[in-house]
Structure 1
Amino acid sequence: MASKSILVVEDEPDIRELLRFTLHRAQFHVRSAADSEEAIRILEGPLPSVAIIDWMLPGMSGIELAKRIRSDQVTKELPIIILTARSGEADKLQGFNLGIDDYITKPFSPRELVARVRALLRRSGNLEDGNINLNGILLDTVAHSVSVEGNPLHLRPTEYRLLETMMRHPNRAFQRSQLLDQVWGRNVYIDERTVDVHVLRLRNALKPYDKHKVIKTVRGIGYRLDHQTANA
């Protein structure tokens, strides 16, 4: 199975370690935070595949953190599981109204936890086998390799991350600032036109296979990977 990245936000050390151990044993890569502020710092870098957030966190609560994630253009599509001792319908409705994807009630079964994470990955299109296949372009997120119609495509790390970001969200128009945040991280301050340079390099790498046209320039916004016109 692919080594997907999971963010765990839990203030109780024993539960945090249990979550880390359970997910690591299931071949997930785990990053953990003890509070919302630490989680926000982690989210300034490359995004995880799923966030598991405890409802009752010190300072900013887990629900408030989830609300902040949903209100941010970069993180708003991040799948979220809330971990909580609350099992009331009203509490769950509050979370679902904020866009929470799933709940796990404490005490939880490690097997159920892993099953729910995998189910959420499937629902979100974040495939467990690590492969994203669009327009004849196959991206293997485990091996960090790309092939075009069976032919290996050698990309630099930045172009690889750029392609992965757009392939995970086909037909979505990305602003240059959003691509900077996703590919380079929010704590890196570089000119937005740097994105143009790397998009050009990516297009040039795809051009021998006539796949460069799938990356569209969206005037006044940025770029989009067009899934419908692969051979246009």
Structure 2
Amino acid sequence: MIEVLLVEDDEAIGDLVKYNLEKHGFLVDWVLDGKEALEKLSERKYDIIILDLMLPGVDGLDLCRKVRREGKNRETPIIVLTALGDEDTKVKGFSAGADDYVTKPFSVKELLARIEAVLRRVGYSKKDVLEFEGIVENKKSKTVTVDGKPIYLTKTELQLLEFFLEHPEQLFTREELLENIWGTDHNETTRTVDVYISRLRKKLGEKGKYLKTLPRLGYKLTREG
């Protein structure tokens, strides 16, 4: 799971960014000022930092410089998110160590695209993450979130979910699922598939509705009603 430190003192913007990032499978720590940010940065390594410049306490530019000078997050990508959109401020931000710059007001779609682009530049591949209607699996860390909240799956449940996430809107018979998940050399019956589908639906909560049963045909991960 991609871990994000969000440093933003505007609560409305912070809520918006945190909600949408978690919905897309990110794990977000949100702090309201530079001092809190420094404390968090001293405690753990993040995958990306989203930083407002106009902060109480430690100024955003100073914070950016401190991050780049020392500590475990020296190489962590930083995206500046601020209302200060003039050229001089942007130059100062990049000089302080920022990797990208998003000016307020902004769209969530643009911010997500910028985050993905920055992560790609440091070797993160979107192929490592599978997503369907708020269900997100990180294939590297083998973690799953539903609308940003982690859920625990057994090895077989995870394999089953991953198979559906890799093949959305495709119908599979019970026999096909047995072969793909349990292999060709197994002693399971099609009833085993039904049991695991039922367990998976329960763990997905409301999102379990997307794992549809087609009577006498099989199962499909679909948005169809």
Shorter chain as denominator, the TM-score bin is 0.5 to 0.7
1:109 positional shift: 0.2
* 1:39 and 2:37 matched: yes
1:26, 1:75 → 2: CA distance? Answer: 23
1:73 shift after superposition: 4.4
1:200-227 CA distances to partner (integer Å, 9 max, x unpaired)? xxxxxxxxxxxxxxxxxxxxxxxxxxxx
Question: If the length of structure 1 is used for normalisation, what is the TM-score?
Answer: 0.55
Structure 1 runs of 4+ aligned residues shifted over 6 Å read: none
> Which structure dedicates a bigger proportion of its chain to helix?
2
Match of 1:57 in 2: 55
Aligned to 2:142: 143
Distance 2:25 2:112 in 1: 10
Conserved 8 A contact 1:70-1:77: yes
* Aligned mates of 1:127, 1:33 — CA distance in 2: 27
Number of positions where the alignment pairs a residue of Structure 1 with one of Structure 2: 135
The corresponding residue for 2:103 is 105
Identity of aligned residues (%): 38
Query: 1:26-55: per-residue Cα shift (whole Å, max 9, x none)?
Result: 111111111111111111222111000101
User: Which residue is 1:11 aligned to?
Assistant: 9
CA distance in 1, matches of 2:24, 2:128: 14
Any conservation in 1 of the 2:128–2:140 contact (CA below 8 Å)?
yes
Q: Distance in 1 between matches of 2:21 and 2:96?
A: 25
Aligned letter for 1:104? V
Structure 2: distance between partners of 1:34 and 1:62? 11
Say which SS state the counterpart of residue 103 (structure 1) adopts. Answer: strand
Q: Which has the larger radius of gyration?
A: 2
Question: What 5-or-longer segments of structure 2 have no aligned partner?
Answer: 130-138, 144-225
TM-score scaled by structure 2? 0.56
CA contact (8 A) 1:130 1:142 kept: no
Kindly report which structure 2 residues correspond to 1:1-232, keeping only aligned pairs within 5 A, or say none.
3-130=1-128, 141-143=140-142
Distance 1:126 1:72 in 2: 23
